[in-house]
Structure formats: structure tokens, C-alpha cells
Amino acid sequence: MNVIPVVDLLAGRAVRAVRGQRSAYRPIQSSLCAGSDPVDIALALLAASGSRTLYVADLDAILAHGDHASALAALCIAAPDVELWIDAGFADYQDVRALFERIESVAQRLDTLAEYAADRPPRRATLAPVFGTESLRSVDALRCAQDAGLAPILSLDYRAGQQLGPAHPADDPAVWPDRVIVMTLDHVGSYEGPDLASFARIRAQAGERSVFGAGGIRNRDDLGAAEQARACGWLVASALHDGQI
């Protein structure tokens, strides 16, 4: 099972999640590296986990307070062999296009600051949009992203057992893309263990899709339990920063 590290971005810094209560998030203090620079934290998490996938939650974008296009562009260049799962409060496919175009524009400007051999053009990370039900307005966005070749990911967002958001694709597994996340926000940053009950319910509906969990991992025993539940991977941050896994 894959450990997928998570970086939460808020006001230009990497922050520590606290049960999905974003007003309580503060700049990260990590055993992996000093400071809370987004790129430094991301690279440290990738090195610690050995993952080739990184989940990035742009909380400013989710809260409609701007975005972290510059930090994401720098990360695309710094980790060219990684797939970045970008959760930025996408309500529809146009939101994805707008942010991804801004990231590409910044990356191009950064490229001009570096010299590349003619036979070694700049490489960048692959971007995959995460559509969270907290923000998603229409499931048509999933189809549009798929048609554009972006391999979208659906995050089924829950708090206190209730699915969040105006759109409810959880009611119709037929519209789910190939990758689905079961995101239990009140377990994120909680050290209360993974929400395997919610995960099992979605896993049973998902057929051959790849299903990932998020929140609550404390140690390797929790990872083992998630693997037994047939998780393809689990999103983890606190346990990596604290050296628990």
C-alpha cells in the first residue's frame, strides 16, 4: 500500500492540519526539515516516504482567498518525476484550467532563469486535479477533466459522517473516475486512527477503481489495517512529520 504524503498550503506556508478546522492551522514544525517553506517541506516528505505521488491542498484556493500558483510551479520544477494531486477547491473544470494555466505560466518564467542543454529540455511534475465534494458543483467536471487527459481524482469529503458539498456523486458510483479518495476531515491531523468504516462502505461500491483513504494514520499498525481494508494508499502528513512512520 502506498503512503501518499500531504502538504497543506495556507498564506504561503506549509501548515499542520487539525481535524479539518482550517482556522486552527499553523505553520508546520517538522522533524524532517527546518522551516515551513512549501517546496522544502514537500521534498522532505517525498524523501521520507519514498512516494512518487504528493497530495497538495491549496487552502487559500479552497477558501477563495487566492491560490499558490507560484509555489506549485516551483514544486513542479523541483520534483519533475512526481505526480502532484492538486486539491484547490475546484467547483468545475474551468477552475482547473485557470489554475493549471497560471502554474504553467509561472513555470515558464522560472525556466528562463535556468540554463538547459539542447538535448535536456526542462521537465515538470504531472498535475492531476482533485475534485472534492466540499466544492464540486457538477459531476460534469469529472468528465471534462477526463476528456482533457488529466486523470481526475474524486475526493468524497465527510465530516461527522455527513458528506460535504452541493454535489453528491457518492450517490452514483457510475460517475466516479478511476481514482477515489475517502476523506474524513475530522480524522485529519487527529491521531485517532483511520476511519475504516467509511472507507469500507465506499470500497464496497467502487468496483475495480483505486480507492485511497485520508486522515488518522498514527503508525505502521494503522497502515497495516488500511491495507487489510484494501486501500490502494493512504494520505498521511502528521505521522511523517513526527517520525511515527
State pLDDT tens for residues 59-72. Answer: 999 988 899 999 99
Dihedral sign from CA coordinates of 199, 200, 205, 207: positive
The overall average pLDDT reported for the chain is 90
Angle at 120 between CA 152 and CA 109, to 5 degrees: 65
Retrieve residue 107's grid coordinates: 513555470
**CATH dotted code for 2-241:** 3.20.20.70
State pLDDT tens for residues 100-109. Answer: 999 999 998 8
State pLDDT tens for residues 85-135. Answer: 999 999 999 999 999 999 999 998 887 766 554 445 678 999 999 999 989
Report the alpha-carbon distance of residue 155 to residue 137 in Å, rounded. Answer: 13
Q: State residue 113's pLDDT score.
A: 62
Q: Give residue 167's pLDDT band: very low, low, confident or very high (50, 70, 90).
A: low
Long-range CB contacts (within 8 A, 24+) of 95-103: 96/129, 96/141, 96/145, 96/150, 99/61, 99/67, 99/69, 100/127, 100/129, 102/67, 102/69, 103/69, 103/72, 103/73, 103/76, 103/127
Q: Give residue 22's pLDDT band: very low, low, confident or very high (50, 70, 90).
A: low
Report the alpha-carbon distance of residue 136 to residue 171 in Å, rounded. Answer: 14
**CB 161: neighbour CB atoms within 10 A?**
10
Task: Please report which helix (H) or strand (E) contains residue 162, including its range.
Answer: strand 162-163
Query: Which SS3 state, helix, strand or coil, does residue 24 take?
Result: helix
C-alpha 121 chain-centroid distance: 27
